[in-house]
Amino acid sequence: MTEDSFTALMLLSTALFVVGLFGVLARRSILIQLLSLEVALAGPSLAFITAGARHADAGGQAMFVMILILAAAEVALGLALYLRLRRTADGTDSDSLSSLRH
């Protein structure tokens, strides 16, 4: 593993995260926002794995497992919320849920 490829992988992971972030911010459909969140989480997973590989350390993969658990929990709650919200609001438009303003 060369220094360059390590840097490239790290940049890649950053780019993945930012793409996910963009998706969360740009999309209005709640489901796609959730998918984008998965993408965003993929970025850090790649970064941890890359770093773990670089240092030959199990901590990277351990952190990946944690992210996985986090993603699972998030998806479970997120989807449940989505289903719940769809009863009262338009599930395709998160902007319609603006009662926090008041």
Partner 1 sequence: MNATFALWAGSLALISALLVVTRASVVHALIWLLVTLLSLSASFFALGASFAGAAQILIYAGAILAVFVFVVMTVDASPKALEQERARLGRAWVPPALVAALVLVPLFAWRGAPGADTAAPMGAAVSATDLGMLLFGPWAAVVEIASGLLLAALMGARHLGRRGKPEGRG
Partner 2 sequence: MEVFGLVLTYNHLLLTIPSIALAGFVMLGLDPFRLRDFEVRALALIGGVGPLIPMLVFANACFHGQCTGMVPIFTLKVGESTVALALQMDPLAALVGLTVCVIGAAVILFSVAYMQGTALPDLRRFFALMHLFLAGMLTMVLAGDSIVLFLGWELMGLCSYLLIAYNTTSAEAIRAGRKAFIMTRVADAFLLAALLLLFLEANSVRLDHLIPAGVAAQDGMRPIIAALLLGGAIGKSAQVPMHTWLPSAMAGPTPVSALLHSATMVAAGAVLLMRFSPIIQAEPVVMAIGAGLGALTAIFGAAAALFQQDIKRLLAYSSISQIGYMMLAIGVGAPEAAAAHFVVHAIFKSLLFLSAGHITHHSPRGTDIMAMRGASQRNPLAFLAFSAGAASLAGLPVITGGWWSKEAMLGAVWGVEPALWTVAVLAAVLTAAYATRAVLIAAMPDPGSHDGHADHDDSHDTGYTLVPLAFLGFGALLAGGLVEPIMHLLGAHVPHAPLFTILVASIAPLVGVAIAFALAYVPALANGLQRARDIARRTRRRPRRQDKPAGFWVRIALAFSRGLRIDTLYQIVFVWPFVKLVRWLNGYGRGVADPAGNLPAMAALRLQRAITAPFAPDWIDRTWTAFGGRILALWAALRRLQTGRARDHGLYMAAGTAGLLLLAWGLTWH
Question: 94 touches which of partner 2, partner 1, none (CB within 5 to 8 A by kind)?
Answer: partner 2
- Residue 53's contacts (CB-CB under 8 Å, 6 or more residues apart) are 1, 60
Count CB neighbours of 16 within 10 A: 19
Q: Does 3 bind partner 2 (CB under 8 A)?
A: no
Q: Does 24 bind partner 2 (CB under 8 A)?
A: yes
Of 21, 44, 96, 101, which lies in the binding site for partner 1, with binding defined by CB under 8 A?
21
- Please calculate the CA angle 94-31-69 and round it to the nearest 5 degrees: 115
Q: Does 79 bind partner 2 (CB under 8 A)?
A: no
| Residue 33 and residue 24 in contact, taking contact as beta carbons nearer than 8 Å | yes
Residue 89 in tokens: 């609001």
Contacts with partner 1 in 27-66 (CB under 8 A)?
27-29, 31-32, 34-36, 38-39, 42, 45-46, 49-50, 52-62, 64-66
Q: Does 84 bind partner 2 (CB under 8 A)?
A: no
